[in-house]
Structure 1
Amino acid sequence: MSNNINNLHSLLGGKWMITDEFANSLTPYLISILTKGELSFSGDFQNETPFFFLSRSGNITSDSSSSEEQQIAFLNIKGPILKYSQPCGPMGTRDMMSMMEKWKTQDHIVGVFQDYDTAGGMVAGTAQFAEYIYEYRKIKPVIGYTDGDIASAGYYLASACSKVVANKHAMAIGSLGTMHKSIDTDGIIEKLGGKVYEVYAEDSTHKNHASRELRNGNDQILIKEELNPLNRKFHSDIISYRPSIHSEALNGKHTYDIEKAKELGLIDAIGDKQYAINLLFELAEQNNQNQNNPDMSKENKKFDQIAAVIGQEDLQLSSKILSGKKGVFLTEAQLDDLEQKLEGHDAALKSEKDIIATKIVTINTLEATVTSIQGSVTDALATADLEAGEDTEASVKLLGEKVKEYGAQPGATGTTVISGGDRNPEEQDTIVNSNDGHNQLYKSL
């Protein structure tokens, strides 16, 4: 009964990450709670086994405690995502975490297969479970798979998985947005003979502010103060879990095009359930190898530079060849080669440093010369009573033009003396000094 009350609260007042069509489909469950006092589900959601186990040999069991084979745990995430479980409905996210925590300690369970068919659910509990999945996959791999819908809150969870696989016949994928859908039940209560009173203390001006404004027809407070922050966290978490996701996928639209879903980074691969199962076992095997031999986690890392130094370029050395549990093994000859190469590098580095130092001295000298020239140009401009140009080159050009201007003025050419004070016969004017100190101009005879 307590879970029914919790889910009634969620249906009436909770925030949702869900497609609108799926939200509308929850109305019968609300009516069931209000009229029967219970939340009952029908169809696949009621009859689906919430979890089971599959071994490599294909054996399926509902109990993994006595198995000696490696197994993967199947966790069905179908129908509306709720925080609390229902006896005849879907398992809540809290119980899902409890189950996965138990599997974490069982060595023969090597991974978790999450089978999705959900268009979303409530906000409460979803972010926490998504974060749990993301941390869980660092210990054991988690595959998210769907042959139906995987949207909104459902995708929030799946995005945290190690890999996401969609069947080519899957339906809606995406709808990465947040909405609020509430029902004012005051009318129902009043119809049953009740009376609704809602009174606030004088200083409680912002208590239930968003919902009160919503009743008055103003939804902006709800959007800005509640939905937008939730949605930003939703998107931020998804980007953190799946950095390769395209920004176009974050606008809230869902797609029925599976190839498009892969293009947008919503899924990693297109394949059937068996493909996803095989992929999970492969990830589990890689995880097992990495845990048993930490050096093997770098098996594909190449050491091309080291291989080139020791003269084994064709070997393409990797950590699998070089590394062991106690470290890296090299022969004495290979160590000698590395030592000589490093000594050569030291000598070359010192030579380069000397060359660079010489170049720095030269550059400093040139900079000093340029500064001196610029000062001289500035002084010349001041003497000629000229304003400086945009740069030194322009200023020098101005000085050149001024010199040319002065050179073209009359009297620019001096008198040429032939000998003994004789006057150049070609000159028509001669300036002589008079006794009274005044200059006089005489015409030539």
Structure 2
Amino acid sequence: MSVKNLHSLINGRWFIDKPYGHSLLPSLFTILEGKDISIKSGEREPDIFISLKKSNAPLVAASGFDSGNNDSEYVAVINLKDPIYKYNQECGPSGTKSKMQGMKSYAQDPNCIGVVLDIDSGGGQVSGTPEFYDFIASFKKPVVAYTDGLMCSAAYYIGSAASHIIANKRADAIGSIGVMVSFIDFSGIYEKQGAKLITEYATQSTEKNKAFEELLKGNPELYIKTELDPIAEDFINDIKAVRPGIDPSVFKGGTWNAQDSLDKKLIDSIGTLQDAVNKVFELSTTDNSNSNNNSNSKKGTMSKKTKSFPAIQKLIGAKGEGIATISTVLGNKGVQLSEAQLEVLENTLVANEAAITAATGKVAAAEGVVTALEGSVDAVLTTAKVAVAAEATIETKITSLGAEIARLGAVPGAKATKAKAEGDSFEDKDGIVNAEDAHNEFYNKA
């Protein structure tokens, strides 16, 4: 059979949980043997369902739902229950390109108020996954990710961009944030069939495929450093950007159950698919879309929830009665701050402003003390008739005053004298100050 993009199945880098990847190998071998494993029309579960606002209302396949003849608001439930591929595969799975194209139609439908990504996948290709992540992060309507099975590697990468993540309490595994390479060396097969594989490079092409050639020789270090590590770094940074409170331990590639995932902030809550649908309706009423653009209701009158953050508004120069959305750009990734995060930022700014005000008061008080001290020094200098330039510093004035005190201390007769009194010893010259001065003639002759 003909399988589109077969090269992507047998060579490439993967965001995938290893046991899940191994489970796909029988299908791969069947394809390589030329056998047809495609799913017949009608046997495959629809990729997209529709859920109306009514609680616990049954899901309706999107193919049988005509939003043009239905005046009800609805949520599109989009399945991600296969390995993640960039392009459609004839053996069944729809690629991320098709998923994004389908979601664009729901972004334009005024009756659709948001999307649930119903995920049960252990991951897939690197190619196409970051692009889908960017698409979800900038989607114009609320997106909630839900899993009751696997939400690992590429599947978690995509789901992390949603504004809220819910896992069923019985979910199998969540996480597996990491990168691996999987490829097949066919040279042995060619040689067995009598072919000899010869590869040569131009003199100028010394760096072409160097990392891959080293990998084939059993030297993976260069390939890991130049190919896998940068992809893993981008993966981790993208997760940090949309989930700033996440436990750093998840970046080593482990997986967890629902409760542990909640504790590590891989997810936001534990619940059911209906809870995920209800969350989209809740977010739609607060205009908490994934992008900086406000989504419109079917009547174009969806209210915008704003809240006043005066310190933040003052800092960023935002005018008006409040802030609906604040976004900062990290590279080409948009990051939306939640109300809780805004509260933290606002409280921090207010606390900092109070601390600055208190410090300013202390500085003013200290300046008053210094001013008073300088006034006292000026008065003493005036009394001592010491001339000092008006622009002289307080240090210079104090130095000048000290010099004048030293000068006066060296003048003869500067020390006080006392008259000789009964009981004074003539030999105790220290008892009579300046005993050797001429005016103490009587004392000297005694």
- TM-score of the superposed pair, with normalisation by structure 2: 0.67
Rounded Cα–Cα distance in structure 1 between residues aligned with 2:416 and 2:168: 102
Amino acid at match of 1:264: K
DSSP-derived class of the 2:265 partner: coil
**Shift in Å at residue 431 of structure 1?**
9.2
Report the CA distance shift for 1:157/1:415 in structure 2 as closer, same or farther (over 3 A): closer
Q: Which moved further from structure 2: 143-152 or 80-89?
A: 80-89
Deviant stretches of 4+, over 4 Å = 288-296, 300-303, 353-362, 367-370, 376-380, 413-419, 428-433
Amino acid at match of 1:228: D
Kept in 2, the 8 Å contact 1:29–1:41? The answer is no
> 1:363 aligned to 347, 353, 370, which one?
370
DSSP-derived class of the 2:170 partner: coil
Amino acid at match of 1:221: L
**Shift in Å at residue 415 of structure 1?**
11
Kept in 2, the 8 Å contact 1:46–1:89? The answer is no
- Cα deviation per residue 1:29-61 (whole Å; 9 max; x = unaligned)? 3323322076x3679x97322112222343524
Kept in 2, the 8 Å contact 1:143–1:161? The answer is yes
Of structures 1 and 2, the one with the larger relative CO (CA 8 A, separation 6+) is: 2
Aligned to 1:112: 115
Task: State which structure, 1 or 2, has the greater radius of gyration over its C-alpha atoms.
Answer: 1
Aligned to 1:143: 144
Over the matched positions of the two proteins, sequence identity in percent amounts to 34
DSSP-derived class of the 2:214 partner: helix
Kept in 1, the 8 Å contact 2:286–2:303? The answer is no
Rounded Cα–Cα distance in structure 1 between residues aligned with 2:361 and 2:75: 64
Kept in 2, the 8 Å contact 1:97–1:132? The answer is yes
Q: Does 1:55 align with 2:52?
A: yes
Kept in 2, the 8 Å contact 1:120–1:152? The answer is yes
- Cα deviation per residue 1:249-295 (whole Å; 9 max; x = unaligned)? 22211113x11101111111101222222222222344399845576
Rounded Cα–Cα distance in structure 2 between residues aligned with 1:77 and 1:129: 12
Matches within 5 A, 1:44-443: 47-57=44-54, 58=57, 60-61=60-61, 62-65=63-66, 66-68=68-70, 69-136=72-139, 139-256=140-257, 258-287=258-287, 291=296, 296-298=304-306, 360=367, 363-364=370-371, 366=373, 371-372=395-396, 375=399, 426-427=426-427
Kept in 2, the 8 Å contact 1:17–1:176? The answer is yes
DSSP-derived class of the 1:47 partner: coil
Q: CA RMSD in A?
A: 4.0
Matches within 5 A, 1:3-82: 4-6=3-5, 8-36=6-34, 40=37, 47-57=44-54, 58=57, 60-61=60-61, 62-65=63-66, 66-68=68-70, 69-82=72-85
Q: Which moved further from structure 2: 362-371 or 88-97?
A: 362-371
DSSP-derived class of the 1:181 partner: strand
Rounded Cα–Cα distance in structure 2 between residues aligned with 1:77 and 1:354: 60
What are structure 2's unaligned runs of at least 5 residues?
A: 289-293, 311-320, 323-359, 378-393, 410-414, 430-434, 439-444
Amino acid at match of 1:25: S
Rounded Cα–Cα distance in structure 2 between residues aligned with 1:213 and 1:355: 66
Bigger helix fraction = 1
Rounded Cα–Cα distance in structure 2 between residues aligned with 1:264 and 1:246: 5
**Shift in Å at residue 88 of structure 1?**
3.6
Rounded Cα–Cα distance in structure 2 between residues aligned with 1:359 and 1:88: 79
Amino acid at match of 2:17: T
**Shift in Å at residue 243 of structure 1?**
2.2
- Cα deviation per residue 1:222-246 (whole Å; 9 max; x = unaligned)? 1111111111111111122222222
- TM-score of the superposed pair, with normalisation by structure 1: 0.67
Q: How many residues align?
A: 347
Amino acid at match of 1:147: D
What are structure 1's unaligned runs of at least 5 residues?
A: 304-317, 320-352, 384-402, 404-412, 434-443
